[in-house]
Amino acid sequence: MDARFFLKQRTTFIRFYFESCVKSFEEIRTCIENGLPPYDSPPYSEDGEPAYLEDWLDTNTAEQILGLTCVSLLSDSLKLYFQTLQRRVIGFEFEDKKSAFKNGFVHAYLRSVGEILETDWSDCPANIDVIEQIVLTRNRGHHGADLTSFEVTHDKRTLEKYPQPFFTSADEWEDWFRIDGALTSFLLPSIKITQSSLFSAIDQVEALVEWIDGRMGKASDWRMRQPTL
């Protein structure tokens, strides 16, 4: 089975899905900012707020939820890719699955696949830190923190390991860091996913998969050395 082919089908779709959806949010903002239909007849108001402000803000919220959805799809695709390598391509088992997965599936699979491919990943062009943050962001995005907002902040555990997270606003991170950068702060930087950061994360996943695919000869050698029952 060509696991690389199916993984790249998924990453191609994720790019398409994000680009297609985000266009609708951008169109709404453009219509609001330029007074175009259906935002060309603002209701009477004395509160001083710009017309359709809530709609404009909702497009930004929707864009972030879209980003979290795409990161979740990317994380799940990576997990399915590793599972396919394990079960259908290479064929290996974990001696102690609970212990192997205590630090997450990325760590577990990289360790096992690395042993089979005879690598410590230092020669892999993919940024492993970004790979891991894809999963951490996906996990964090699945748990809302406050009923009053859809915004999701990075947790203390992530910031301890990655003091400058990949998925965050540079301005917001700098403000947090300038104030005190304390993990005890109530103003931890929020998760921000842009097209640039999402597509860059996808590039890292694809680079990892391409590199693994190029070393699959090592997996064949490993299988030949395994005892037969």
Q: How many CB atoms lie within 10 A of CB 217?
A: 9
> Residue 59 CA to chain centroid, in angstroms?
20
Quote the pLDDT of residue 144. Answer: 74
Helix axis angle, 195-214 relative to 216-225, nearest 10°? 50
Quote the pLDDT of residue 71. Answer: 98
What is the mean pLDDT of each successive set of 10 residues along the chain, which is 229 residues long?
96 98 97 95 85 94 96 98 96 93 96 96 96 96 82 89 91 75 70 97 98 95 84
Residue 55 φ/ψ, nearest 5 degrees: -65, -40
The upper half-sphere exposure of residue 100, i.e. CA atoms within 13 Å in the direction of its Cβ, equals 13
Q: What does each C-alpha distance from 179 to 16, 174, 176, 186 come to in angstroms?
A: 38, 8, 5, 12
Name the 3-class secondary structure at 101: coil
Rounded Cα distance, 170 and 165, in Å: 9
